A and B are shown apart, each in its own frame.
Chain A
Amino acid sequence: MMIATLVEWEQLGEAVLASVVAGVGVTFVFSIAIWGVARFVDLSRDERPLAAGAAALAAAFALACTAAVVVVGIIAMTSK
């Protein structure tokens, strides 16, 4: 009961939420980028240029998202 009143639950909750979103989010979008590259290689080998192009596009977009999340995350988390 006493501890409950001493902890700033709102701040702690925001830190937990930010950690989950940033940690899981970055890994997810980066996985999509790797999936895109792997699919691009396979589809190019199978001579399916349209599908390969789409996979490459997905990879590039996911990679850009990863970079954006990292940069925005650092700026947001380290500025008051």
Chain B
Amino acid sequence: MSSDIILFIVVGTALAFDFTNGFHDTANVVATSISTGAARPQVAIGMAALLNFIGAFISISVAATVANDVVNADVITPTIVFAGLIGAIAWNLITWYFGLPSSSSHALIGGVVGSAVAAVGFDAVLTEGLVGKVLVPAIVAPILAFGVAGASIAIVYRVVGKQRPGIVTRGFKYGQIVSGGLLALAHGTNDAQKTMGIITLALIANGSLGAGADPPLWVITSAAIAIALGTYSGGWRIIKTTGTGIIKMDAAQGFSSQGAGSAVILASTHFGFPLSTTHVINGGIMGAGAAKRFSAVRWGVAGNIVTAWLLTLPAAAAIGALTYGVTRIFGTGALGPIVVTLASLSLIVALFARRAERGSPVPASTG
């Protein structure tokens, strides 16, 4: 009974995390299409929500990595997963509060690793999976997107550089409808699977599923719905802020960056690499900008992203470990997670109220 209550809390927390993931990432997925005028905000966000939903169904490789290759499922309990989720959500809220860009994906993995280490020790961590499937791809992917987008835009300018700008711009705006859709699909594919993986890990830990099991259909469906709803409802306010802050780029740059981002995310998804989609998309945008004019890119922003990236894994891990310690004060039953959930909800309400009093920050990018 007690473990079922904890499992219920974990599933609810994971879906809430998935909702916020879609909520925050809408801007990253659609901002390029909107800023170049390729799509109206309502259309872009609606399409992104739908394609995020569809994307969640087309692969389970990333979910399998998160569930089976990062921590040892045999020694994990639902409380450890819960503490990891709280670590991820807390770090996301902290970075949101201070307007720092961060990655939900890295926070999620960092949180679970931290709570697992606090509970079981370093034996709980599958170093091969963590390094080989998470850390190294996390470094390679944004650099790759930067290079692919840069090479793509260089080719575009060479091919169509001497043609009438009107036709070229119109053509790439049409192209952006497809490339933006592809990016939303790729985003849903990679990001929704992280939540599926976490819920599957909790189900395995609870004994509801066998070790190495794939996510059940209800997990896939609920994760797809959560990320799609988050994408649809989160967009409006975030787009308003991000739309004015984004670098002005032409339609060809938008197409190249979205194409590069989609290619990198989809290729990585195939091999089960859980990426920060935000870092990939930003890498693509910077590559497309730098290839045209190096100084067009805000390198200070790039530096902030790198700093936040370096901090995210250890910070989320530390909060996950701390949360696990707090839950254990109340024993091994459901009381610890219930107390932590209530305390977290109170803190979130207080944080939002304080933020509302002081005005909205530029939202942190997550992915």
- Same complex for A and B? Answer yes
B160 to chain A: which residues have CB within 8 Å?
31, 34-35, 38
Check: A14 CB closer than 8 A to any chain B CB.
Answer: yes
Q: How far is the CA of A78 from the CA of B151 in the complex (A)?
A: 25
Starting from the known contacts A6-B131, A19-B263, 18 additional A-B residue pairs (CB-CB under 8 Å) come to: A12-B136, A12-B271, A23-B262, A23-B263, A27-B156, A27-B255, A27-B256, A28-B152, A31-B160, A34-B172, A35-B163, A38-B167, A41-B167, A70-B178, A73-B266, A74-B58, A74-B266, A80-B61
Q: Contact check, A77 vs B260: say whether CB atoms are below 8 A apart.
A: no
A24 to chain B: which residues have CB within 8 Å?
148, 151-152, 155
Q: Assuming the A-B contacts A19-B148, A24-B155, A39-B163, are A6 and B128 also in contact, with contact meaning beta carbons closer than 8 angstroms in the complex?
A: yes
Partner of A23, one of B136, B178, B259, B273: B259
Q: How far is the CA of A15 from the CA of B285 in the complex (A)?
A: 20
Nearest CB of chain B from residue A67's CB, rounded to whole Å: 8
Check: B14 CB closer than 8 A to any chain A CB.
Answer: no
Q: Assuming the A-B contacts A34-B163, A34-B168, A35-B159, are A18 and B267 also in contact, with contact meaning beta carbons closer than 8 angstroms in the complex?
A: yes
Chain A residue nearest to B135 (CB atoms) is: A3
A-B contact pairs, 9 of them (CB 8 A): A7-B132, A8-B132, A15-B271, A19-B145, A20-B144, A27-B156, A39-B163, A80-B59, A80-B270
Q: Contact check, B263 vs A7: say whether CB atoms are below 8 A apart.
A: no
Interface size of B as a range: 35 or more
Count A-side interface residues using an 8 Å CB cutoff.
37
Interface positions of A from 1 to 50, Cβ below 8 Å from B: 3, 6-8, 11-12, 14-16, 18-20, 22-24, 26-28, 30-35, 37-39, 41-42
Q: Contact check, A78 vs B269: say whether CB atoms are below 8 A apart.
A: yes
Nearest CB of chain A from residue B128's CB, rounded to whole Å: 5
Q: Assuming the A-B contacts A30-B255, A33-B171, A34-B160, are A11 and B271 also in contact, with contact meaning beta carbons closer than 8 angstroms in the complex?
A: yes
B222 to chain A: which residues have CB within 8 Å?
none
Check: B137 CB closer than 8 A to any chain A CB.
Answer: yes
A79 to chain B: which residues have CB within 8 Å?
59, 270
Nearest CB of chain A from residue B51's CB, rounded to whole Å: 11
Partner of B267, one of A3, A22, A42: A22
Residues of B within 8 A of A (CB): 58-59, 61, 127-128, 131-133, 136-137, 140, 144-145, 147-149, 151-153, 155-156, 159-160, 163-164, 167-168, 171-172, 175, 178-179, 182, 185, 189, 255-256, 259-260, 262-264, 266-271, 273
Which of A15, A19, A26, A78 gathers the greatest number of chain B CB atoms within 10 Å?
Answer: A19
Q: Contact check, B131 vs A3: say whether CB atoms are below 8 A apart.
A: yes
Q: Contact check, A19 vs B171: say whether CB atoms are below 8 A apart.
A: no
Q: Contact check, B266 vs A30: say whether CB atoms are below 8 A apart.
A: no
Nearest CB of chain B from residue A58's CB, rounded to whole Å: 11
B152 to chain A: which residues have CB within 8 Å?
23-24, 27-28
B147 to chain A: which residues have CB within 8 Å?
20
Chain A residue nearest to B166 (CB atoms) is: A38
Q: Flag A42-80 by CB within 8 Å of B: 1 or 0 each.
A: 100000000000000000000000000010011011111
B178 to chain A: which residues have CB within 8 Å?
70
A70 to chain B: which residues have CB within 8 Å?
178, 182
Nearest CB of chain A from residue B57's CB, rounded to whole Å: 10
Q: How far is the CA of A29 from the CA of B61 in the complex (A)?
A: 30
Nearest CB of chain B from residue A20's CB, rounded to whole Å: 6
Chain B residue nearest to A34 (CB atoms) is: B171
